[in-house]
Amino acid sequence: MTKKATQIPLPLSYPDSGKWFVPVKRIKIDDRTWALRLGQPVQLGTSYDVAEATGVGRKILKRLARAGFIQEMRPSPNVSMYYYTEVLDLMERTRKDPNFWTQVRRDAYLKGSRMEDASTL
């Protein structure tokens, strides 16, 4: 008896459900063939998980959070968690807008100050 795969319905219809990220695992079959497996939908990930999935380093995630570009949750003093989709959305914004990194945004990122403290965007 084989088990049939079932789809997991995402609670996207709920107003406060947030955005979901579905990680994809690549499985190499041969030299030219790959199989893709969808993982479980997640919203938050540790800095290690988000860095691995997005390619953005852990130190860069910390700097982006300090500048106010993304949110950071700290469930304990040694664990930082981030929303996958916020990081991916920021990457998309910088791709679409070549002038995204204005002097004020660049200074906020490099100095670790909040964007709200900056005078203008």
Residue 79's identity, in one-letter code, is V
pLDDT of 38 above 60: yes
Residue with the two structure tokens 């900056």: 118
Give 65 or 115, the one with higher predicted confidence: 65
For 96-109, how does the pLDDT look when each residue is reduced to its tens digit (9 = 90+)?
998 999 888 888 88
Name the percent of the chain lying above pLDDT 90: 27
Which residues, 6 or more positions from 12, have their beta carbon under 8 angstroms from its beta carbon? 20
Which residues, 6 or more positions from 61, have their beta carbon under 8 angstroms from its beta carbon? 47, 50, 51, 70, 72, 80, 82, 87
pLDDT of 73 above 50: yes
Determine the pLDDT at residue 60.
Answer: 93
Determine the pLDDT at residue 116.
Answer: 64
In 10 A of CB 100, how many CB atoms? 12
Which residues, 6 or more positions from 38, have their beta carbon under 8 angstroms from its beta carbon? 22, 23, 24, 25
Residue 45's identity, in one-letter code, is G
Under 8 Å between Cβ of 109 and 64: yes
Which residues in 2-109 belong to E strands, given as ranges?
24-28, 34-38, 44-46, 73-76, 79-83
